[in-house]
Amino acid sequence: MSTLPHIPDSPQVIQWLDIGTLQDIPIRGARRVKLQHRTIAVFRTATDEVFAVEDKCPHSGGPLSQGIVHDDCVTCPLHNWVISLRDGCAQGEDSGCTQRFPVRLCNQRLHLGLQLPEEQIDSQGKTTDLHRQRSVVRATGD
Ligand code: FES
């Protein structure tokens, strides 16, 4: 049974995009959803929580989807900043946030909430390939 964070529907959400099932995301890993102007990283934690943030570290734009997921955070692969998946913000001495996006579970399907008109899916009206990040490594023991 999956546990998703409670994120109330926002009036800013104008479109819910079906991004597959929980099982499509590796445990303590991520998959990427490519939109027209940005890429969203959708993470699954060890406890089956799902979070979505822009795949862009607030430090220097590193690909968070390739980072190490631990608890409800991801460590950026470039310079090891730790980003909370709950609010998208850097932890500790570091500062800055990446945008987070709502995710909901509906009939066993994960839906990603898109908030801006420009966040269109590609020109075909579909998501581009959703890459699995199989190599995301475990940072914490179970
Ligand atoms: S780009 Fe992420 S820590 Fe530097």
Q: Can you give the pTM of this predicted structure?
A: 0.77
Sheet containing strand 103-106, strands side by side: 15-20, 109-114, 103-106
In tens, the pLDDT along 33-50 reads 999 889 999 999 999 999
Averaged pLDDT for residues 109-137? 52
Instruction: Read off the pLDDT band of 6 (50, 70, 90).
Output: very low
Instruction: Read off the pLDDT band of 135 (50, 70, 90).
Output: very low
In ligand 1, which atom is closest to the CA atom of 64? 2
Set out the domains of the chain in order of their start, with CATH numbers: 15-114 (2.102.10.10)
In ligand 1, which atom is closest to the CA atom of 62? 1
Is 67's C-beta closer than 6 angstroms to any atom of ligand 1? no
Looking at 52-103, list the stretches that DSSP marks H as alpha helix, in order from N- to C-terminal side: none
Name the average pLDDT for the chain: 80
Distance from Cα 82 to the centre of ligand 1, integer Å: 9
DSSP for 58-70 reads: TTT---GGGSEEE
Tell which one of 53, 56, 59 to mutate to probe ligand 1, the residue whose CB is within 8 A of the most ligand atoms: 59
Q: Quote the tokens at residue 50.
A: 């799902």
